[in-house]
Amino acid sequence: MIKLLSTDFDGTLVDHDATPRVQPALFETFQQLHERGVLWAVNTGRVLWHIEEGLRELQFPILPDFVLTSEREVFHRGPDGRWQDYGDWNARCAKEHDNLFAQASQLLTDIEDFLAKHTRAHPIYEGERLIGLAAESDDEMDAIVEFLARECKRVPGFQFMRNTIYVRFCHEAYSKGTALGELARLTGISRDEIFAAGDHYNDLPMLDGRHAKWVTCPGNAVEAVKKTVSQAGGYVANGVCSGGIVEALRHFRAGE
Ligand SMILES: [Mg+2]
């Protein structure tokens, strides 16, 4: 029986090209599951304020019980209703990233040079730290990813997450998958009771069957995601975004 939903947001629940962006059937399904005690974690690449804004803007009838942000941080609600760190995972995550970025200073300089000389991509900074980049197109990102895959090997543990035309640099031990694993540990919910849904490369770590048994992707997911979901014995939906997720929840008979 499914006790926890771990869903990506953009491209999985939300179709930014459609009207409405989230189908009413998804709201109804989530409401019903919520009434039956099924918990919901939004597992997103967005940072905390940005996912709060998204949930407000799209007027979800229920709020998630957890938000897993930036593809690696884990938050639950504090007594005042605000999001707060769940356990010490976020502190450990921040410390390991500080160490990793310190070791990667030459690599990051080389990435900056490559972007400036060979691409039209925009570097993304947090303070002075290069934390990722935005490409001009998917094709350009394909070429950048080839470069990164080759160069990032120079620094043990240094990895990157791709989501559409965006890349975020990260420690290989921190992903949507391991963050979900930590949430499972903290809540005492087992892998066999977890449903996970996503559409893009940064969702792969939560869709390979390791952290969730019931895995799915909407019909608009990239091929690599469809392949991973199939190999994990999951369900590749036909419907796009929220339509696909409602379809998958019916397929798995969630809430029964
Ligand atoms: Mg997505």
Domain residue extents for the chain: 4-71+175-251, 91-171
Which of the following CATH numbers is that of domain 4-71+175-251: 3.30.70.580, 3.40.50.1820, 3.50.50.60, 3.40.50.1000? 3.40.50.1000
User: Taking the CA atoms of the chain, what radius of gyration do you get in angstroms?
Assistant: 18
For ligand 1, the distance from its centroid to the CA atom of residue 146, given in whole angstroms, is 21
- Tell me the sheet residues that pair with 159: 170
C-alpha 195/C-alpha 169 separation (Å) is: 26
pLDDT at 193: 97
For ligand 1, the distance from its centroid to the CA atom of residue 14, given in whole angstroms, is 8
For ligand 1, the distance from its centroid to the CA atom of residue 147, given in whole angstroms, is 23
The percent of residues above 70 in pLDDT, for the chain, comes to 99
Average pLDDT for 70-98: 97
pLDDT in tens, 2-25: 999 999 999 999 999 999 999 999
| Residue 143 near residue 50 (C-beta atoms within 8 A) | no
Question: At residue 90, does pLDDT exceed 80?
Answer: yes
The percent of residues above 90 in pLDDT, for the chain, comes to 98
Which of 36, 78, 73, 30 minimizes the C-alpha distance to 55? 30
pLDDT in tens, 205-255: 999 999 999 999 999 999 999 999 999 999 999 999 999 999 999 999 876
pLDDT at 255: 64
For ligand 1, the distance from its centroid to the CA atom of residue 43, given in whole angstroms, is 9
pLDDT in tens, 123-134: 999 999 999 999
C-alpha 153/C-alpha 112 separation (Å) is: 16
pTM: predicted TM-score of the whole model, two decimal places: 0.95
For ligand 1, the distance from its centroid to the CA atom of residue 106, given in whole angstroms, is 31
pLDDT in tens, 150-167: 999 999 999 999 999 999
For ligand 1, the distance from its centroid to the CA atom of residue 7, given in whole angstroms, is 9
For ligand 1, the distance from its centroid to the CA atom of residue 12, given in whole angstroms, is 5
